[in-house]
A and B are shown apart, each in its own frame.
Chain A
């Protein structure tokens, strides 16, 4: 916190500042340093709490299932092995899997990965696009019943999923879209109440001068939206896109219902075989942890590559 302030403060650059520091200045500097140390301690604690379970997952993923309960206090993997990762990537034979406490279902890992990428990408692109358009209409355009319709759309967030799952499934079946990519992405493709709500708040915050100027120049609403508003809101839009991607990637119940066939099965559904298969059974712990890491990897990669753009883009706050 202090570093940013010091950089932007004019104090450090005042030409006539006296060499020696007054007692008050020294006190202020000490206080700033204490704030900084305190802040780092807090951040460190937060990181520890956030990351320890990940470490535990990592450690478990390199363990042998049979040895896990007996070595519960061991911070290192119990009987280190790469077997779990072999099982997840489909490189393990049936008998080996059984003997290691895993399941015997076959895994076509790369196909599932491809399916997840297709579903998540299509959903993200279209959902973000359509939601941004709707959010813009709610935030910046004036039309009759605007508030009422917005309230209705928000209401969609409140509809308990249990209402929508079964009828949507029947609808998809009637459209003949079971076991297709279309069937999996369709319900989320066109709108997400959260996305609209989120983006509308940001669009509300955009100053109107730029838009007014464009209108006077004769630009149509679509041009204003795509050429001006969207670039200005790139930070929230890409944040939303990232979160949508993650949400779609981790979606489980709907793709389970609609996409059962091998050729459309997504990764999260396929990796459900590492959970407990029988009523009182244990999950394939090592396999489950390995599967989780591998399933999260693509998203982490995307975040690493695009994250800088997402996180660091400085929001336009008005006319410069």
Chain B
């Protein structure tokens, strides 16, 4: 690959002083820009431009069919007094905490077990299974299994003498049921990500620690967890962002009910935009969601000090 070099005159390269560490090497910058170029094009065309348009819509009464008129900050003012919006945020928060919390713990458990207990490809493939099904189908299957009257799980509860539960109809249970369904669906995927991270931990560290007499538990806390941190951060950030945008499962099972107890923020936005044609208001809400997510992500990255790398 010497063509890059021949571009820059040999004499220039040899005679120019080595740049200080803090200054930017032009050659490096140019290479970096080339590396980033395709992604940047995609980013601008398919993310930035639509996002800017979306922001524009949020200041109008756009209803998808006609341009709508400029309404200034009316949509945002309405947001503040909209009790369904605040309820949606609360519902979403409940969902995110349960979903991400449980999913990360279970996925970590699975990843560690896969790493240390068995090398079986079959087990690893099976764990990933739920991720391969469309979320809509997964929701339908659980709808059947958890049905109050004829679902096999409720039949089991009945059989061992417990009360049948209305998993989707009870306002206190519904959102947690949805969270658990998504844990089931995504824990294999998350486990796989964590597993990739576990692969990068050098085996010598475990050997050394076991010579020192540390048990499994101590190894986990002292070696695995800290060295897994970069991947764990990715997983946490991704899971949180993804959880905030939950939609499919609710659209299939509870449709926001009962009594708005599963009306998460994204379902509300979609409903407003495509069923009630209030695209301007939905855009304002989407922008609010974006701002909230940005703050949450920023806090997450700060708290976990994502820039550090413990291995280096």
User: Do A and B come into direct contact in the complex, CB within 8 Å?
Assistant: yes
Interface residues of A (CB under 8 A from B): 1-5, 8-11, 31, 35-36, 39-40, 42-43, 46-47, 49-54, 56-57, 60, 69, 72-73, 75, 130-131, 133-134, 136-138, 141-144, 146, 149, 152-164, 166-168, 171, 186-187, 189-191, 194, 196-198, 201-202, 204-205, 207-208, 218-223, 225, 235-236, 239, 243, 246, 250, 252, 268, 275, 283, 285, 288-289, 292, 295-296, 299-300, 303-304, 307-308, 311-315, 317-318
Category for how many chain B residues contact A: 35 or more
List 22 A-B residue pairs with CB atoms under 8 Å apart, sorted by A's residue number.
Answer: A1-B112, A42-B109, A43-B113, A43-B117, A47-B127, A52-B145, A56-B144, A133-B36, A133-B38, A137-B36, A141-B32, A142-B24, A143-B33, A153-B43, A158-B294, A160-B245, A190-B38, A201-B231, A205-B200, A205-B311, A243-B189, A304-B121
Cβ of A205 and Cβ of B113 under 8 Å apart?
Answer: no
Residues of B177-205 whose CB lies within 8 A of A: 184, 187-189, 192-193, 195-196, 199-203
Cβ of B237 and Cβ of A197 under 8 Å apart?
Answer: yes
A129, closest chain B residue (CB): B38
Cβ of A315 and Cβ of B192 under 8 Å apart?
Answer: no
Contact with A along B18-55 (1 / 0, CB 8 A): 00000011001101110110111111011111110110
Cα A304 to Cα B141 in complex, Å, equals: 25
Cβ of B290 and Cβ of A246 under 8 Å apart?
Answer: no
* Stretch of B74-82, B87-95, B130-138 lying at the A interface: B130-138
Cα A133 to Cα B203 in complex, Å, equals: 29
Which residues of chain A are near B141, meaning CB under 8 Å?
53, 56-57, 289
Cα A17 to Cα B213 in complex, Å, equals: 16
Cβ of A311 and Cβ of B195 under 8 Å apart?
Answer: yes
Which residues of chain B are near A198, meaning CB under 8 Å?
193, 234, 238
Cα A137 to Cα B179 in complex, Å, equals: 37
* Stretch of B149-157, B160-168, B256-264 lying at the A interface: B149-157
Report, nearest first, the 4 A-B pairs whose CB atoms are least far apart. Answer: A190-B42, A1-B116, A191-B39, A163-B54
DSSP majority for the B interface?
Answer: helix
Cα A51 to Cα B130 in complex, Å, equals: 8
A71, closest chain B residue (CB): B150
B215 to nearest A CB, angstroms? Answer: 8
Cβ of A146 and Cβ of B207 under 8 Å apart?
Answer: no
* Stretch of B65-73, B96-104, B266-274 lying at the A interface: B266-274
Cβ of B312 and Cβ of A142 under 8 Å apart?
Answer: no
Partner of A167, one of B49, B106, B136: B49
Which residues of chain B are near A299, meaning CB under 8 Å?
132
Say if the beta carbon of B11 comes within 8 Å of chain A: no
Which residues of chain B are near A39, meaning CB under 8 Å?
113, 116-117
Partner of B5, one of A3, A36, A197, A218: A218
